[in-house]
Amino acid sequence: MDHLSGLPFGSLVDQIGAPTPAPGGGSTSACACALGAALLEMSAAIEGRGEGERMRLLREHALELAERELDSYAPVLAARRLPADDPERATRIDEALSDASAAPLAIAEAASEVAELGAGIAAGSGRAVRGDALAGVLLAEAAAAAAAALVEINLAGREAEELTRAREAASRAAAARSTALRPAG
């Protein structure tokens, strides 16, 4: 598979829609985060705000996470293909699910930062840019919620620090969305 960031948009969407395990929810969440960051980068630049550079870095980081996420679930699938009576099967599945949670957690945390910074950009934007800034915040919030849900699914039934961090990232992003949607002025 080509690098996701180098694909034409239509090809990326086709690959997401293909009946294959990847790219899936994690990579797609990272792409949504990157799109939100790009809109906020543009909004900040038009408004002459300083957050544009941080948005550029977050956009690039989200694209790196999309690539990293592509292969993160393969070990889970391999562990699940082990014979049911294999004494290591449960441990291998458990370890693979823990490892597979790292990229979605990073995506949720990056998306949360995009949404939080974006709420400030949206609040300080003029009418001509506010809609773009709001769209960026909404995309980032959706990315955080989706990525956090993947962590929840992967770590179901456990009490892990990663679950707490994912939930907090989604909560911060949702609060940022609420802040951003308040009427301007």
The one-digit pLDDT tens for each residue of the chain (185 residues) are 458 888 888 988 999 899 988 898 999 999 999 999 999 999 999 999 999 999 999 999 999 999 999 888 889 889 999 999 999 999 999 999 999 999 999 999 999 999 999 999 999 999 999 999 999 999 999 999 999 999 999 999 888 899 999 999 999 999 999 999 988 66
pLDDT in the model for residue 1: 45
d(CA 104, CA 140): 13
> On the CB side of 61, how many CA atoms lie within 13 Å of its CA?
19
Give 70-134 as a DSSP string.
Answer: TTTTHHHHHHHTS-TT-TTHHHHHHHHHHHHTHHHHHHHHHHHHHHHHHHHHHHT--HHHHHHHH
pLDDT in the model for residue 185: 60
For the chain, the distance separating the N- and C-terminal CA atoms, rounded to the nearest angstrom, is 47
Per-domain residue ranges of the chain: 23-181
**What letter does residue 50 receive in the DSSP assignment?**
T
pTM of the model: 0.92
E strand or H helix at 57: helix 52-69
CATH topology of domain 23-181: Four Helix Bundle (Hemerythrin (Met), subunit A) (1.20.120)
d(CA 16, CA 22): 7
pLDDT in the model for residue 70: 87
Q: Are 33 and 142 in contact (CB under 8 A)?
A: no
